[in-house]
Structure formats: C-alpha cells, structure tokens
Amino acid sequence: MIDGRGRLAPSWKAHIGDYLERDDMQALADFLRTRKGAGVQVFPPAAEILAAFDATPFEDVRVVILGQDPYPGAGQAHGLCFSVRPGVSVPRSLLNVYKEIQRDLGIRPPDHGCLLPWARRGVLLLNSVLTVEAGCAGSHQRKGWEGFTDHVVDVLNREREGLVFMLWGAYAQAKGKVIDGSRHRVLRATHPSPLSAHRGFLGCGHFSAANRYLVSRGGTAQDWSLPPCPETAIA
C-alpha cells in the first residue's frame, strides 16, 4: 500500500480508492519500498503521504490549491502543498502567499508555515507528486503520482460543483486543463516563487475572488487567517 498502512480517508476512498489498486500504483508502492530499503530518506513520512486527504474530506472541499512536489528538506514536508511543520522556517513561496493575502484581505501573516487550519476548513492542499527524496527536488516525478493526482482533480471536477481551483504557475495550470470553468471558478496566476511572484502573483487578488465566488453561490467566505499552530497540530 502507498502509505505503508493502506490508509485513505473514508470519504475519499469511496471516490478514488479503486485507483490505488491499479498496477501502476502498485509499481509506485514497490518503487517506494525499494528506495527506502536502500536507505534513502523519503519525505514526507509514510503515514503523512496522504495527509491532504485526511485533513480535508471529499465533501468538505471548497478550494483546491495545486502544488508540485513536497519540500525535500528534513522536517519540512508533512503532506500538504506549500505547508511546513511548525518550527520550520517559512519557505519563500509561502511568504509571498502571505504577502498577497495581507494585501488582498488585510490579514496579517502568521509566524509559522503550517497550513493545516486551512485544510481543516475545506482547502485541499494537493501536490501533484506526493513523495520526494531528501535533498533532491523532483526526484519522484514520473513515477506514477501524476496519474493519481490527475484522477483526483478529474473526480473533483466531475462529481463536485462550485469549487475554487487556484492554479499558480504553468505546471498547475497544465494539470488543471480538465477543469470545467462553467461548473467551477478557476483562478490562474504565476507561481508565488520569488523568481516569478512579481510577474503576476502579487496583486492577483485570488483570495478575495475566491470569497466572492463562494458567497455568490450562497456559501460563506473562506477564512484565510492562520492562528498559532502548536507542534501538537501535526498528528
């Protein structure tokens, strides 16, 4: 099984569980076991590979943010895109996300980079590739994860309605080509990386745009604030 215990949140298992039984996913599981057996550090820890699904049940998803792959530094990745554990320095891309939220909504940035509160409020923080080797960004690309997460996006697109998809950068935008813009709100901008944030991410207004859309459909605005996040928030 992919996470070492076959654990997938029940609400998601009903919609995507069969995909994990495919031959290519079993090959991915074999690859992960082989790499770990060779003494290679793989992040995040096995029990957190599917953490995005644990934190945000299928029926609770309101917003989807697509990332690329986990942070490759020790202690950083915990299964949510753009997020790091409490006590870990906030990555520069996430600092730019905080800057845009402050500019857009007036919400002051927190002193940590743990986005678990967002996930628990309905923001699916989904990386395209769910594992990485220590110190080697992109090392598990084209091993099978992309097909799985493409399937997740496709299922959300087909089986849900009125979601907000935030696609930052060319990679996320390519992954989001299947999304039906007549059923969902699709927001596109450059990636918040320091290399590109000034070319369209900063000033994009995605957070207020998401809230306007959610309210226009009779829902409530998304709470983008982040309270203090103690170590015990990651369990």
Q: Using one digit for the tens of pLDDT, what is the confidence trace for 78-106? A: 999 999 998 899 999 999 999 999 999 99
Q: Which residue in 3, 54, 69, 104 is the catalytic one? A: 69
Q: How far is CA 39 from CA 34, 139, 140, in A?
A: 9, 15, 16
- Complete edge-to-edge strand list for the sheet that includes strand 185-189: 123-127, 63-67, 164-168, 185-189
Distance between CA atoms of 99 and 109, rounded to whole angstroms? 7
User: Does the annotation count 69 as an active-site position?
Assistant: yes
**pLDDT tens track for 134-177:** 999 999 999 999 999 999 999 999 999 999 999 999 999 999 99
pTM metric for this prediction: 0.94
